[in-house]
Amino acid sequence: MQPSPAEIARTMASGRLPGMAHVACRPGPHAVRHATDPMGRILLLAAGPDLLDGALRPVAGTDDTAVVLEVADVPPVAGSPTHGRVWVSGWVGPLDGAPARMAALDFADVHACPDLLDVGRGATIFRMEVAEVRLERCGVTIDVDPDEYAAAEPDPIGAIESELLVDLADHHRAEMTAFIRRQLRDAGHRSLAGDPQVVRMDRYGFVVALGPHGPRARLAFPAPVRDRAELARLLHPVLCRRCAPPAAA
């Protein structure tokens, strides 16, 4: 099991990674603070009458503005492969009143920035109705169905992936190395060039680099994890020295 393109796109667009907004027929691009609501719609926060606010405002006689949000993945640790880049296109319009307040709460669930307190009093939230999603990975562009993107859930491990990988490398390297070697031997990998290293993690499992310049393998969890607590329970037998089986000679 591994994330689908829709899940990867939804996770990358969720707001934890920097984004750039390309606005039709306007100068740019603009660095933006963004998040997604539960339906996957993009929320863009403009603080006061700045360049972004002016660029996103519909021209006279229209209700919305065509925008492309571009988000590039940032590998969590050195040596991690990238998930690529996602482009989410759609029509953006400003919110006010109750919709703006609800959008601010959705935004805060992802990215609690102080300017949200000024929404309706200088700051503005713009919402994108998603029309097109494209995911570029390893030089290949995948068209993601907007309905599949909207139905996908952001990966709960995405926001803490870097922290988890650093903790495994700094405090549990020996236990993880022994566990990975056992799993790879069971899968038919008989020899490894150097110690394997976990380089990516998601709700379905983790990606392992087999040596500094070797191939990568994916090890799946028995079932997708729903949160950090469930991941901790799953990994406890692996990381607890008293629980782990002795390494093979």
pLDDT at residue 130, rounded to an integer: 96
Domain 161-239 class?
Answer: alpha beta
Domain positions in the chain? 5-153, 161-239
What is the CATH number assigned to the segment(s) 5-153? 2.30.110.10
Q: Answer for the pair 72, 66: CB distance below 8 angstroms, yes or no.
A: no
pLDDT tens digits, 56-76: 888 777 788 999 999 999 999
pLDDT at residue 249, rounded to an integer: 39
State residue 210 phi and psi, 5-degree precision: -95, 75
Q: Answer for the pair 7, 153: CB distance below 8 angstroms, yes or no.
A: yes
pLDDT tens digits, 77-117: 888 999 999 999 999 999 999 999 999 999 999 988 899 99
- Put simply, whether the predicted model's pTM sits higher than 0.75 gets the answer yes
| HEC profile of 86-127 | EEEEEEEEECCHHHHHHHHHHHHHHCCCHHHHHECCCEEEEE
